[in-house]
Amino acid sequence: MDLEDNLLMMPGPVPVPPRVLRAMSKPMINHRGAQFSGIYDDCRRILADVFKTENDIFVLSGSGTASMEAAVGCIADKDDRIISIENGKFGERFKDLASRYGSVVPLEFEWGSSVDLDMLEAQLQEGAKAVTMVHNETSAGILNPAEQVGKLAKKYGALFIMDGVTSLGGDNVFVDDWGVDVAVVGSQKCIGAPPGLSMLSVSEAAFDAMEKENLPYYLDLKACKKSADKEKTQTPYTPAIPLFYALQESLHIIEEEGMDARIARHHKGAAAVRAAMDAMGIEMFPQLSEYSAYSNTVSAMKAPAGMDSETLKKEMMKSGITIAGGQAHLKGKIFRIGSMANVSYRDILSTLQQIEVVFKKNGVVSELGPATEAAIEVLYK
Q: Write the pLDDT tens digit of every residue in 88-123.
A: 999 999 999 999 999 999 999 999 999 999 999 999
pLDDT for residue 4 is more than 80:
no
Number of C-alpha atoms within 13 angstroms, CB side, residue 372?
15
254 burial class (0-12, 13-18, 19+ CB within 10 angstroms)?
buried
Task: Answer whether 279's CB lies under 8 Å from 374's CB.
Answer: yes
C-alpha triplet 216, 74, 97: angle, nearest 5°: 85
The CATH number of the domain holding residue 264 is 3.90.1150.10
Q: What is the mean pLDDT of residues 304-323?
A: 94
Q: For the chain, how many structural domains are there in total?
A: 2
CATH number of 135's domain: 3.40.640.10
235 and 351 co-located in one domain? no
CB atoms within 10 A of CB 5: 7
Both 294 and 175 in one domain: the answer is no
Q: What is the pLDDT of residues 326-346, one digit of tens each?
A: 999 999 999 999 999 999 999
Are residue 186 and residue 332 in the same domain, yes or no?
no
103 and 233, same domain (yes or no): yes
Decide which of 254, 277, 299 is a domain's last residue: 254
Together in a domain, 139 and 191: yes
Instruction: Show which of 227, 254, 281 is a domain's final residue.
Output: 254
Residue-wise pLDDT for 38-97, tens only, equals: 999 999 999 999 999 999 999 999 999 999 999 999 999 999 999 999 999 999 999 999
Whether residues 166 and 302 fall in one domain: no
What does the pLDDT read at residue 5? 73
Same domain, 344 and 365: yes
Q: What is the domain range of residue 113?
A: 17-254
Q: Which one of 234, 254, 274 terminates a domain? A: 254
Mark whether 32 and 173 lie in a shared domain: yes
Query: Contact, 321 vs 352, CB < 8 A?
Result: no
Rounded Cα distance between 194 and 18, Å, is 12
Residues 248 and 103 placed together within one structural domain of the fold: yes
pLDDT band per the 50, 70, 90 thresholds, residue 312: very high
Other CB atoms within 10 Å distance of the CB of residue 302: 17
pLDDT of res. 161:
98
Q: Which of 286, 288, 289, 334 is nearest to 112 (CA)?
A: 286
Q: Are 190 and 77 in the same domain?
A: yes
Residues 268 and 128 in one domain: no
- The SS3 call for residue 267 is helix
In the predicted model, what is the mean pLDDT of the chain?
A: 96
pTM: 0.95
Q: What is the pLDDT of residue 381?
A: 80
Query: Quick one: 271 and 357 in the same domain?
Result: yes
Summarised one tens digit per residue, pLDDT across range 231-258 is 999 999 999 999 999 999 999 999 999 9
**b/e string for 81-101 if b means 16 or more Cβ within 10 A?**
bbbbbbbbbbbbbbbebbeeb
One-letter amino acid for residue 366 of the chain: S
